Structure formats: C-alpha cells, structure tokens
Structure 1
Amino acid sequence: MTDLLSGHLKTRLRAGNPLGLVWLSLGHASIAEMAAHSGADALVIDLQHGLWERGTFEMAVGVSMGKVPVLARVAENSSFAIGSALDAGTDGVLVPMVETAEQAAAAVSAARFPPHGNRSGGGVRPLSMGFGAYLDKAETIVVGVMIETVKGIANAEAIAATPGLDLILIGTGDLSISHGTAKGGSQTMEEACTVVKAACQKAGIASGIFTTSVEAAATRRKDGYQLVVVANDIDAIKGSFAVAVAQFMEAS
C-alpha cells in the first residue's frame, strides 16, 4: 500500500491508486485507533449497520485524523446523515442503496456547500479546528455511492455519470439478496458486478467492491476494482478468537 499522506483521498482516487480498506462496525474508538495504525489506505466507519453512536463515532474519527483517511458509510441518503458524517471530519461518505441517477445527485448535493449543493455548515469539530480550514477541507470531500440492488445495476451507467461523484462501491451482500442468490454464488451476480465496473470505467470514476477476506480482496484487485475491503473488525476479532481457541485445544 502507498504512503497514507501522499495526497488527499480524492486525488489518489482520480490518479487510479488502488486502495485497501478496513471496515469498522463494532462501534469502539480504540479499534479504529488500532486500524488507523494498520497501514490501510482508508477506514470505513459503518454507520448504517454498525454499532456506532455519535460520540464514539466522533472519537473514532478524531483518533484516526492525520493517520489515515476515513470514510463514513452513512445510514441513509439524507442531508442530515451525510452532513453530520462530514461535520465529524471524515474525508468522505459512502451512501447506501442508491438505485437512480437522481438519488446519486441528491447524495452529491448533500455533500457540497452552496452554490454547488445544499450542505449546511457547522459542527463541534469544525468550530474547534477553525471554520476556514473546515471549508477548505470541503473541497477534497469524496462522495461515493453503493449499488446494492437489481434496479441499481440497471441504472449503473446513469449513476456513474453523475457530476461530482467520485466512486461506486458494490455492496455484494445486499446485491445477492436482491438477486435471490444470498445462499450461494451466481453467474448473474458476477455479470452484475462487471456492469458496474464497466460503467465506472466509462465515466472515469473509481469502482470498488465489498470483499470479506484478504484472498477475495486480492482477486478483486486483479479483476480491476480500485477499492477492496482487506479486513473488517467483526471477522478479524471473531477469527482471532476462533484460531486461538482451536490452537489451544490442539496443543492440549
């Protein structure tokens, strides 16, 4: 992985740099702090399905700032959810369950200050860091959306062409549910992912895909996806416990 501070995340995305993400759901700032020292290219704090409360989320962003870029997967595509995540100091947002170009445009607008959008300025961290610096950081905010449904796949090209959009991340879990293949792999799923990647290539934006193991992340990177998930805190902790207990039982 590249030097974490070699440039803004938006700049690195536009340059085509491959990025390995660490995904955080358990809602504890100390785990985020450890992840920030892992060498990952960026962290994703999952506010949609994770255990995060506002205070611990703010703490997690604070202990990560200056060490690694942080994206927030917001709970919903709303001005409040997107604006509050950015007010915490994140480098960008991932907006879930986007199915149309209109929804993608709404997400971009919620992340931009007037006259380019409808984001409201404020927040505890911006006021403590200085409002000028807060406004400057807004110029480098990354806006990503997640395609996770059959309808989203059908509109992938229009979504990818949305002005101001930086990336699309495929949510493989929800996409498999939408396809009715959650209990097993499917060629249809693979074709759907390829549609999104091709749409991103045509639009000149980054494509990403949620992966659940190092091996899958490496394979997807070879497939041409710019962003992959190299680890998530749930599996990392659960897996470490399981391995330790198994090794102990075997040694006993």
Structure 2
Amino acid sequence: MSNFKERLKNGDQLLGPFLNLNYPAIIEMAGLAGFDFAIIDNEHGEIPIESAINLVRAAKAAGITSIVRVYENNPELIGKALDMGADGVQIPNVGSKEAAEKAVKAAKFAPFGERGCNRYVRGGKYSAMDRTEFFGKSNERTSVILQVEGQDGVASLPEILKVKGIDVLFVGPYDLSASLGIPGQVEHPKVIAQMEEIMEQAKQVGVAIGYFVDDIETAIKWKKRGVQYISFACDANLLYDAFKKSTTLFQNS
C-alpha cells in the first residue's frame, strides 16, 4: 500500500493543489513546499495526457503524490495515466454505480478489474520491476478518486459507495452549486447541507471525502469538519495571487 493510501486510512488530512500549468518545476516546488499531493489536471488545464509523464517524474523526485485527473471516465485514459506511473487517478462526473464500477475496473488489474496488462511502461519501471510485483501489487498501491458533481451522483450515492476500490469520494462544490440552481454560491446553506449529508454517508462506509477550496482559510474550515483530501486552488491562481499582491503593495507604497 502506498504511503498516501496508508495516511488516508489512518485518518490523516491531506492538502494539495490542482496543476493547470504544464511545467514540471511547479510540482517539484509543491513537494518542496510540503504539500501532500498534487492533481495533474487533464480535464481543464493545458496539460495533455502525453505530457503528464514529466510531471509525474518530477513529483517522484520531490516526494509528492501524483494524481492525474483524466478528462472523462475512459478506461484508456485511466490506464495510460497509471502506466505513466501516477500514484492515482481522479475521475470526473461520476453519477451512477455503473460509472463508479467502470472507473474502478479501469484502474485495477484482474481479478479486481480490467486494466490492460503491460509492464514495459514507466509504471512497471520499463520491465525492470518483477512482473509478479507489478501486476500483484499495483492494485494495492493505486489510489482511485471519484468525483461527484451533480444531483445524479448525490441521488446515487448509497449505491456508488457500495463499489469496492474507492479511496476518495471527491465533491466539486462549484458544479454541485450549479446542480442546485445556485451556480458559484459554494457557501450557500444548500451546498453546505448537501456536503454534510455526503460526508455522513461516506463516513458510514469508511470512504475518505475530498473537497475543493479556493483559499487556505476555507481549507482549514473543512479540515476541522473532517475532510481528508483537500484540494487547494490551483497553480495558476496561486501564482497570480502572489504576483498581484506584490504589484498592489508596490503601486500603493
């Protein structure tokens, strides 16, 4: 089992940014700064799946867990991300038990899944890793994070949570707010109430909860509420905020 998965099972609360910029040094800096993980974003950022491998390499060098968010629940994309050596995959828009099963099967080798078998990839150390170790232990090491973002997923949550192999159930508050008819109002009582209901259901079956936040104050708030996998903003806006703070102070001095 990976250290990341062990920490989740032990109840640790972990913090990491989304990465939208295709520059390996950023994930190295995230690791050096003490973040627990980073999400390499193939869904919304400028990082194509083929380029993610260099960010995964940089993450390994910096000792930070690499999670690749694929842009759809597609077995080929999920398998490719793991073949690159990513520690885990994050799958968007999971709205049913069937979708959850499809994602988990794509991330696991037989007999627990249907991931394509090829050890001549970075994930298998280009065949330097013993085949028994690669095929035998990858299922245990790989983290699977499923995103619930709409009311279809919320309604299906009792069935989704029955699927074995889910490490984190991630809630996207912006999409959740939109599905409730209040787009962008992530602090609205309806969003908070639904998030708390989701957390309670996940807690009952021992699945860690993930949540996206824009700022560190909100991250601390949700940490106190028990969220374990806290996605903190993204590299682009963190860099912009630092730039803007400096220019504003300079111009107003």
Alignment TM-score, normalising by the size of structure 1: 0.91
Whether the aligned pair in 2 keeps the contact of 1:197 and 1:207 (CA below 8 Å) is yes
1:17 pairs with 9, 12, 17, which one? 12
Which position in structure 2 is the counterpart of 1:45?
40
Per-residue displacement from partner, 1:197-217 (whole Å, max 9, x unpaired)? 111101111011111110000
Corresponding residue SS for 1:93 = strand
1:39-78 alignment runs, 5 A limit: 39-66=34-61, 67-78=63-74
- Name the residue aligned to 1:3: none
Deviation at 1:143, TM superposition (A): 0.8
- Is 1:102 matched up with 2:98? yes
Give the whole-Å Cα distance in 1 for the aligned partners of 2:73 and 2:106: 9
Following superposition, the deviation at residue 127 of structure 1 comes to 4.8
Partner of 2:141: 140
Q: Is the 8 A contact 1:176 1:189 kept in 2?
A: yes
Amino acid at match of 1:70: S
The 8 Å contact of residues 29 and 56 in structure 1, kept in 2 or not, is answered as no
Summarize the alignment of residues 232-247 of structure 1 with structure 2, pairs less than 5 Å apart: 232-247=234-249
Cα distance between partner residues in 2 of 1:127 and 1:68: 18
Structure 1 residues without counterparts, runs of 5 or longer: 1-5
TM superposition shift of 1:165: 1.1
Deviation at 1:129, TM superposition (A): 6.0
* Partner Cα separation in structure 2 for residue 197 and residue 131 of structure 1: 38
The partner residue of 1:28 within 20, 23, 45 is 23
Shift of 1:225: 0.9
Per-residue deviation at 1:50? Answer: 1.1
- Cα distance, 1:231 vs structure 2: 4.2
Tell me by how many angstroms 1:230 deviates. Answer: 3.2
Q: CA contact under 8 A between 1:157 and 1:196: conserved in structure 2? A: no
Query: What letter matches 2:73 in structure 1?
Result: N
Secondary structure, in 3 states, of the residue corresponding to 1:98? coil
1:1-252 pair list within 5 angstroms: 8-66=3-61, 67-122=63-118, 124-125=121-122, 126-128=124-126, 130-132=128-130, 134-135=134-135, 136-184=137-185, 185-251=187-253
- The Cα shift of 1:219 comes to 0.2
What is the Cα deviation at residue 86 of structure 1? 0.7
How far did 1:17 drift?
Answer: 1.1
Tell me the secondary structure at the aligned position of residue 252 of structure 2. helix
Contact kept in structure 2, 1:167 and 1:200, CA below 8 Å = no
Cα distance in structure 2, aligned partners of 1:54 and 1:101: 26
Shift of 1:160: 1.8
Aligned equivalents of 2:2, 2:100: Cα separation in 1 = 25
Helix, strand or coil at the partner of 2:33: coil
Aligned with 1:26: secondary structure? coil
State the alpha-carbon separation in 2 of the partners of residues 202 and 112 from structure 1: 24
1:229 CA drift (Å): 2.1
RMSD: 1.8
The DSSP-based 3-state class of the residue aligned with 1:210 is: strand
| Percent of residue pairs identical | 29
Structure 2 spans left out of the alignment, 5+ residues: none
Q: TM-score, normalised by structure 2?
A: 0.91
How far apart are 1:112 and its partner, in Å? 0.6
Give 2:219's aligned amino acid.
Answer: A
Alignment coverage as a number of residue pairs: 246
Give the deviation of 1:138 after TM superposition.
3.8
Please give the alpha-carbon distance, in whole angstroms, between the structure 1 residues aligned to 2:22 and 2:172.
20
